[in-house]
Structure 1
Amino acid sequence: MKKIEAIIRKSKFSEVKEALHEVGVNFFSYWDVTGLGNEKVGKVYRGVSFSTNDIQRRQLSIIVNDDFEQITVETLLKTASTGEVGDGKVFVSDVLETYRIRTGEKGGETLK
């Protein structure tokens, strides 16, 4: 099993969520995060200057069986991209075991 964590632009979240559902990833957790990026240029919005040092993003945490890793990552890369600095990152790590709290069963079947 794999844990796929993605940090994406908030504006791309709906599109990413729909694309993940289309490929069969029907459960994941997400939350709003703030981070620091490489972009050091200030922006002007409606005449007000603001810093881009603190970047508002959405973080997704997705656990999938090994056979879903590639399609999940490809879907994230394709749908979260705008082609500009600040599109985000995807991290993949191993998950040793999962347990379903309700029944106590363990393993990949708990992801269904």
Structure 2
Amino acid sequence: MSESNRDETTDEVEQSNDGDIKLVMAVVRPDRLSEIKTALAEVGAPSLTVTQVSGRGSQPAKKGQWRGESYTVDLHQKVKVECVVADIPADDVVDAIRDAANTGEPGDGKIFVVDVERAVQVRTGKEGTTAV
């Protein structure tokens, strides 16, 4: 890569997230995961981590009955999607997740954007934006 190409690449990274690495975390409905994966791939952020979680927020509790006993489910099953970006604007990732996860009903989830202080690639030892 020539020196001028490196400068252009560095400029692009700095324009995307002001040279920072961002962690976009979303806690969403499990049935929207496929749409979210597709939306992230379309904006150029195919790398993600998905974790099964449960929690409660504004989504109402569900009442049920099993073997004659009543019970309340107030911890709902969700998935936590994490995506670390440096060369793609975090706002684009947030918009993609929001559009794909939105059903218009309570319990659609939340999205959080956090600054990443340091990133290190295990295999190569690369650090910073090149590790992402």
- TM-score bin, normalised by smaller chain: 0.7 to 0.9
More helix by percentage = 2
Provide the C-alpha distance between the structure 2 equivalents of 1:40 and 1:80, rounded to a whole number of angstroms: 18
Aligned residues: 109
Percent identical residues: 34
Greater radius of gyration (CA):
2
RMSD: 2.1
Q: TM-score, normalised by structure 2?
A: 0.74
Q: Which residue of 2 aligns with 1:60?
A: 81
Q: Map Cα deviations across residues 38-82 of structure 1 (whole Å, 9 max, x no partner).
A: 3334356xxxx7634110000011111164201000001111000
Q: Structure 1 residue 89 and structure 2 residue 110: aligned? A: yes
Q: Give the match's secondary structure for 1:62.
A: strand
Flag structure 2 segments of 5+ consecutive residues without an equivalent: 1-20, 65-69
Compare relative contact order (CA 8 Å, sep 6+) and give the higher one, 1 or 2: 1
Cα distance in 2, alignment partners of residues 74 and 16 from structure 1 = 10
CA distance in 2, matches of 1:41, 1:102: 45
Secondary structure at the aligned position of 1:51 is classed as: strand
Whole-Å Cα distance in 2 between the matches of residues 108 and 73 of structure 1? 19
Asked if the contact 1:8/1:88 (under 8 Å) is kept, the reply is yes
Partner of 1:24: 44
2:33 aligned with 1:13: yes
Residue in 2 that maps onto 1:73: 94
